[in-house]
Amino acid sequence: MLEIEHLAAGYGRDSVLHNVALAVRQGEIVALIGANGAGKSTLMKTISGLIAPRQGEIRFDGRRIDALSSARRVELGIAHVPEGRQIFPALTVAENLRLGAYATPLAAAAMAERIAAVCRPFPMVLERLDEPAANLSGGQQQMLAICRGLMSAPRLLMLDEPSLGLAPLLVGEIFRIVAELRARNLAILLVEQNARQSLAIADRGYVLEGGRVVMSGPAADLLANPDLAEKYFGVGGSVEAGDGRQALARRLKVILEP
């Protein structure tokens, strides 16, 4: 679905991404892990059209999109939920959601149906449609941001640090819901500082260092890699390969099944 080759991008004269290659297939979660400043958010912004690439190709469904506007990419089925939520606090919850569907105008009845559908995993959002978004807690605002991203009916959903700043119980809930979204046949590109939890629900992963992909493979293999464990998982050894994602998830108390 999403294919990236030889991608380079940056800000001004500063290069951030170097010769990046990455792919996300329909119905899978791909985790992108790396330290702060590795280029993860820059890659997300380049895919969504907020930053123009300096070289390379971005293809979606076999079509090059690297010269298209951000709005056109949304119309094609790409949604970007940015780091820090970036909701509109003075607008109501419902108004924030309607803005998520700007690329595909809907009649009132269809809009109501879309809101009900995308918020089904987030009943709290439905209960507070008429309230200002500023009234929501940090976790609730993150749920709203994800719902707003789903309002465009995307086929590729990009989530940038969805658990940032959340309490542990809410982190588990966010990851559970992300895993459920895969069952809708969505392709999901997930950027997370918490490498263990993101790989626990992912199918595959990429490791970004200094703006370059230095490792990639099945999530279970990355979890079992001792070098990654030392650098990103906060432990001195690898996660046992035989444990699999489910065992790791139990250890982290991430609920993968509703």
Query: Domain span at residue 37?
Result: 1-77+154-217
pLDDT band at 255 (very low <50, low <70, confident <90, very high): very low
Question: What's the structural domain count of the chain?
Answer: 2
Asked if residue 30 has pLDDT above 90, the reply is yes
Q: What pTM was computed for the model?
A: 0.85
Same-domain status, 43 and 91: no
Give CA–CA dist 156/190, Å, rounded. Answer: 11
Same domain, 41 and 113: no
Longest Cα separation, the chain: 55
The answer to the question of residue 90 being in a domain is yes
Q: What is the pLDDT of residues 152-166, one digit of tens each?
A: 999 999 999 887 777
Percent of the chain with pLDDT over 70: 90
Confidence band, pLDDT 50/70/90 cuts, at residue 84: confident
Residue 188 lies in a domain: yes
pLDDT (tens digit per residue) in 195-227: 888 999 999 999 999 999 999 999 999 999 888
Point out which residues pair with 2 in neighbouring strands: 24, 60
- In this structure, the answer to whether residues 181 and 212 fall within a common structural domain is yes
Between CA 247 and CA 225 the distance in angstroms is: 16
pLDDT value of residue 252:
40
| Residue 68 β-bridge partners | none
114 has pLDDT over 50: yes
Q: Residue 234 has what pLDDT?
A: 62
Looking up residue 32, the CATH number of its domain turns out to be: 3.40.50.300
pLDDT given for residue 151 in this prediction: 93
How far, in Å, CA of 193 to CA of 91, rounded?
Answer: 29
